[in-house]
A and B are shown apart, each in its own frame.
Chain A
Amino acid sequence: MIEGNYEIFQQIGYVASAILFIFGLKMLGKEETAVRGNFISAIGMLLAVVVTFVNVIEPLLVLSAILVGSAIGSLFALRVKMTSIPEMVALFNGFGGLSSFFLAWSEFTSYKAISPLLLITYLTVFIGGITFSGSVIAYFKLSEIIKFNGAILGKLSRYFLIVFIITFLVALTQIILQILNITLIDFDLIQKIFLGLLIISILSGFCFVIPIGGGDMPVVISLLNSLSGIAAALAGILLTNTALIVAGCLVGASGLILTLIMAKSMNRTLFNIFFVGYSEGTSGTSDIEGEIKPINAEDCYLILEAASTVHIVPGYGMAVAQAQHVVKELGDLLEQNGAEVSYGIHPVAGRMPGHMNVLLAEANVPYDNLLEPKDINPKMESIDIVLVIGANDVVNPSATEQPGSPIYGMPIIEVHKAKTVIILKRSMSSGFAGVQNPLFFKENSRMLFGDAKESISKLVSEFKE
């Protein structure tokens, strides 16, 4: 009697938690309700866990696993620096994928004979495995612990990835043939094939992300996020668990949308990002006219002091130099000086969707001052000074002026239309796209070389004197 009632109780709990997830996600998409949205979604999770927990078989094992997981998760989440958020999100995401991977593996060990569910098991293991190992590589790339450069490694990875995917498809086809009684392989052999599949899945994730450049990381992270949701949804079918299916699909769909938004902001197709990369698309480099005009901090201060509108465009360079706090200080000083200060945020500036927003919010820049390209571009001609801080490709005028350029067509922040542009940069190296930037050579451009944080600190102290 208890069994039957319990089942109903659990299902009602799952429905309620699905509703909470839906409202939570909806509210996460609006600035005013985002904090509450996240909280509501967490309540949904708690509810789903509690109704499942009631009939758990090994409470001791489960509790200790939860204890270990929650301690590690909380420790990471509360101690991570805001500049390291991209890699942290990537890593957590990978763990979600790994969990689905183990889940499907565990289900497999309980099979005694061939079943159509094996198809779903294979898919879950494959997608979960890719999510995990892909996220781990993304973590290493973003935290710059290991850099996977080199064209040979990239080519080799792509080659192996294709081999792995074909192998996987063959294994999948074999199961279909087996179900249709066309092939008759011993289940012992299928168990061995499955072990190979576990390894291939993990290796595929490595090979998938290794060749992808740092500038494309926002797209990769969004896609891996989507994949972790899909893996969870597939695991839900394996376990006939509706909570997993609904929540997993919500994540899968939202990740997919973000991925497409990111790709669109770079004017590239997903295929181009994942399988071609920028380097091979290069053609039609035209000569750049003009010369580089360096400027020192004192002169820069004098120009800034006279400006009545200042627009700041941050990029990955600001994140690396951890310059967001001095940038905010400079912004405040400019405002006290009577200038109107705004910030231009390109969707793919940085290493994660919305990376610059997070950093500037940490430095207490009110987000009413953060403008998207479509809002600031029409006003650009009336801006006295644009400060480009460690951004490169997202302000490259080739995107609008040179049809042969690899980044042609990518929406940019059109800083070259402002009266004066000051570019803070460490050296003359090109951006992640590997494309030369004609902005640096324009008549109205000045280069302020040096570490972004040091350069801005100098400007700040000039203002204070």
Chain B
Amino acid sequence: MEIFILLFFILVLSVFLGLELISKIPSTLHTPLMSGANAISGITLVGALSLQTSGTIQLVLAFLAITFATINVFGGYLVTNRMLRMFKKK
């Protein structure tokens, strides 16, 4: 149980950190920021990698979880990069 209290503590602190981090962004960067944050939400990939895979159902679910998280990660970072490249000052 203690471990969960600790995890909850990390969760709360991270939320506050996130709120502090993102305040005051120029509206030009709203889309890249959202898209970049979206790529980070692909972190579920890390969770999916550590799933147990005993039995067919778990095997299939793990495969799907990894696949979709990877799409999120690759798609997210590449699209963000493409957008930001266009924003470069001339």
Q: Which residues of B contact A65 (CB under 8 A)?
A: 62-64, 66-67, 70
Q: How far is the CA of A370 from the CA of B30 in the complex (A)?
A: 14
Q: Pick out which of these stretches binds chain B: A71-79, A158-166, A204-212.
A: A71-79
> Distance (Å) between the CB of A58 and the closest chain B CB?
5
Check A92–B75 contact: CB distance below 8 A: yes
Q: How many residues of A contact B (CB 8 A)?
A: 109
Q: How far is the CA of A97 from the CA of B10 in the complex (A)?
A: 21
Cβ contact of B65, chosen from A106, A233, A347, A354, cutoff 8 A: A106
Check A258–B47 contact: CB distance below 8 A: no
Q: Which residues of A contact B16 (CB under 8 A)?
A: 253
Cβ contacts B28-39/A at 8 Å (1 or 0 each):
111111111111
Q: Which residues of B contact A370 (CB under 8 A)?
A: 28
Check B37–A62 contact: CB distance below 8 A: no
Cβ contacts A43-59/B at 8 Å (1 or 0 each):
01100110011001110
Given contacts A38-B84, A61-B59, A366-B90, contact A347 B40 (CB under 8 A): no
Check A34–B29 contact: CB distance below 8 A: yes
Check A103–B79 contact: CB distance below 8 A: no
Given contacts A42-B77, A258-B30, A361-B87, contact A244 B43 (CB under 8 A): yes
Q: Which residues of A contact B78 (CB under 8 A)?
A: 73-74, 77-78
Cβ contact of A358, chosen from B23, B42, B53, B86, cutoff 8 A: B86
A228 at the interface (CB under 8 A from B): yes
Check B14–A233 contact: CB distance below 8 A: yes
> Distance (Å) between the CB of A261 and the closest chain B CB?
8
B interface with A by C-beta (< 8 Å): 3-4, 7-8, 10-11, 14-19, 21-55, 57-59, 61-90
Task: Please name 12 further chain A to chain B contacts, defined as beta carbons within 8 Å, in addition to the given A96-B42, A103-B65, A355-B31, sorted by A numbering.
Answer: A29-B22, A31-B26, A44-B40, A77-B74, A89-B38, A96-B76, A99-B68, A106-B57, A240-B3, A243-B43, A255-B37, A354-B32
A interface with B by C-beta (< 8 Å): 21-22, 24-26, 28-31, 34-35, 37-39, 41-42, 44-45, 48-49, 52-53, 56-58, 61-62, 64-66, 68-70, 72-74, 76-78, 80, 82, 85, 88-89, 91-93, 95-96, 98-100, 102-103, 105-107, 109-110, 116, 221-222, 225, 228-229, 231-233, 235-258, 261, 345, 347, 352-355, 357-358, 361-362, 364, 366-368, 370, 372
8 closest Cβ contacts across the A-B interface? A69-B70, A253-B18, A73-B74, A249-B14, A354-B30, A77-B78, A353-B30, A354-B31
